[in-house]
Amino acid sequence: MKKISLILGGLALGAAIMLIPQSSKATIIGSKHDFYASTNYWIGGTVNWLSTSSTNVCGECHTIHHAPDPTRGPLWIHTPTAQTFKTYDQGGSETFPSGVTVQLGSSSLSCLGCHDGTVAINSQDALNSGIITTAVKGGTPVYTKSSAVVIEVNGGQDDLTHMHPIGVSYNACIAQLPAGELNGTGTAFNAPGSPTVGNMLKNGNVECSSCHDIHRTLGTSTTSGIYTIASGQNLCLGCHNK
């Protein structure tokens, strides 16, 4: 009888576990970068072409066919920024290593397509008959809120010297800075899933997406519009040995 009770108890426990909702990896769907679900955050509640019934959240920035230029990013269809930028090496910082050059990667330039404040969310490019054309979905340009434009404008040039350096080689920084100031690329990063510092780099460079996980492939935050992969000092200490 005792053995039967144990078996039945085990079956009941197994059934209960099966009923517990299983956690799954978060995605861009339902995030602040899901322009169908979070219209009010990004564009101030403006009524436009966005529809909560859409099943193509990815299509705001990516396309399957007629991608205009592979150097913009993976199948990138969102109109890129045409701005020139004052980068961190031009800011006169005493701590920025003088031997490190800045070259903004396609991932950072993709972010700046919206966050420079000059390109509408619903502006898209496509390649047709060998010609790149630009179209504004819905006919009326829709821009991000001014609070989501993270760079300051200096005349006709956008100024990136008021934010963390991007477009810089991590290994070049290690070589130029005092020994031990930066963790090695094989060091475990302070984030879910324990990626390494090297996992956070883009082609070996620090870019916007090194800290901002907009597709939520690592982070699962539902409260931050930027979906950082780690919070507070853990984000900084993932790379900086302080």
pLDDT at residue 228, as a whole number: 65
Per-residue pLDDT tens over the stretch 2-11: 444 444 444 4
What residue type is 145 in one-letter code? K
Backbone angles phi, psi at 153, to 5 degrees: -95, 130
Q: Is the pLDDT of residue 18 over 70?
A: no
Question: What's the pTM value of the predicted model, to 2 decimals?
Answer: 0.80
| Alpha-carbon distances of 62 from 72, 77, 138, rounded to whole Å | 11, 5, 18
Q: Are 151 and 163 in contact (CB under 8 A)?
A: yes
Q: Is the pLDDT of residue 241 over 60?
A: yes
pLDDT at residue 23, as a whole number: 40
Name the band, by pLDDT with cuts 50, 70 and 90, for residue 230. Answer: confident
Q: What is the DSSP letter of 154?
A: E
Cα–Cα distance, 42 to 144 (Å, whole number)? 5
Which residues neighbour 18 within 8 Å (Cβ) at sequence distance 6 or greater? none
Radius of gyration of the CA atoms of the chain, in A: 22
pLDDT at residue 157, as a whole number: 77
Segment 89-97 shows an average pLDDT of 91
Name the band, by pLDDT with cuts 50, 70 and 90, for residue 192. Answer: low
Backbone angles phi, psi at 42, to 5 degrees: -85, -35
In this structure, how many other beta carbons lie within 10 angstroms of the beta carbon of residue 168? Answer: 24
Nearest one of 147, 88, 86, 76 to 113, comparing CA atoms: 76
Q: Is the pLDDT of residue 208 over 70?
A: yes
Cα–Cα distance, 189 to 196 (Å, whole number)? 5
Three-point CA angle 166, 37, 113, nearest 5° = 30
Cα–Cα distance, 143 to 115 (Å, whole number)? 9
Segment 117-124 shows an average pLDDT of 88
Give the pair of three-digit tokens for residue 83. Answer: 């701005």
Q: Are 49 and 138 in contact (CB under 8 A)?
A: yes
In this structure, how many other beta carbons lie within 10 angstroms of the beta carbon of residue 142? Answer: 21
Per-residue pLDDT tens over the stretch 22-49: 344 567 777 777 776 555 444 544 444 4
Segment 180-209 shows an average pLDDT of 89
